[in-house]
A = this chain, B = another copy of it.
Amino acid sequence: MSEPNRGGRPRSSRSTDAVLSATRDLLAEVGYERMTIDAIAAKSGVGKMTIYRWWSSKSAIVADAVIEGVITIAPFSFPDTGDLRADLHAWLMPAVGLATPPEVAALALAMTAATTGDVRTGEALYERFTGRDRQALIDRLQKEVDSGRLGSDVDLSVAVDMLFGVLLYRLVTRAEPSEQYARDLTDLVVGGLET
């Protein structure tokens, strides 16, 4: 039971796609701050009015691009070798141990910037951007709890928040990646959970 849609030209999916693609490209090229709506319109070949008809702000476009999957981060696939410490370390390496790919870093900063100015898009955006990895991580930890290798005292989402939090913190402070850091972080978190 969809909309009655009484007359009128339907929304062009071509325009939507073109806008989101152009946004993805421009984000990579010039970054969030220097990306302008005029440039998105020019690059996508979509009229500015059409953009403003469907999105309320620059951050809303970015959020939509993330939600629609036009902007994707390489999936931090979370391994499951049975050894939590090794798995966590492997998962952390790209983010804090080795150089994060610049486009991922730029995107994360872009979203952080978008978030600071607008509560609503921020929520949706973080949810979508980190949701999948959050859940994968929580599932992995829960499995350890179920098998008795971890205590069941603490809310696992708190542990996950700490991991994502430290990633974000090091991102905005532009901390240098370090393998030792990944190891220390792993020890700390697993140590806290094992209690």
Residues of A bordering B, CB below 8 Å: 31-33, 109-110, 112-113, 115-117, 119, 122-123, 126, 153-155, 158-159, 161-162, 164-170, 172-175, 180-181, 184-185, 187-195
Which of B113, B174, B187, B190 contacts A117, CB < 8 Å? B113
Question: Is B173 a contact of A169 with CB atoms below 8 Å?
Answer: no
Which of B119, B159, B189, B192 contacts A174, CB < 8 Å? B119
Which of B109, B116, B168 contacts A169, CB < 8 Å? B168
When all copies of this chain in the complex are counted, the total is: 4
Give the top 4 A-B pairs by smallest Cβ distance, nearest first: A192-B192, A165-B165, A165-B169, A165-B166
Question: Is A112 a contact of B172 with CB atoms below 8 Å?
Answer: yes
* Min distance, Cβ A171 to any Cβ of chain B, angstroms: 9
Give the complex CA separation of A113 and B166 in angstroms. 17
Question: Is A184 a contact of B154 with CB atoms below 8 Å?
Answer: yes
Please give, as numbers and ranges, the residues of chain B lying within 8 Å of A180 by CB-CB distance. 155
Contacts A169-B168, A188-B159, A188-B192 hold; do A112 and B116 have CB atoms under 8 A apart?
yes
Question: Is A187 a contact of B181 with CB atoms below 8 Å?
Answer: no
- Point out which of A32, A154, A190 has the most chain B C-beta atoms below 10 A from its C-beta: A154
Which of B115, B162, B166, B191 contacts A172, CB < 8 Å? B115
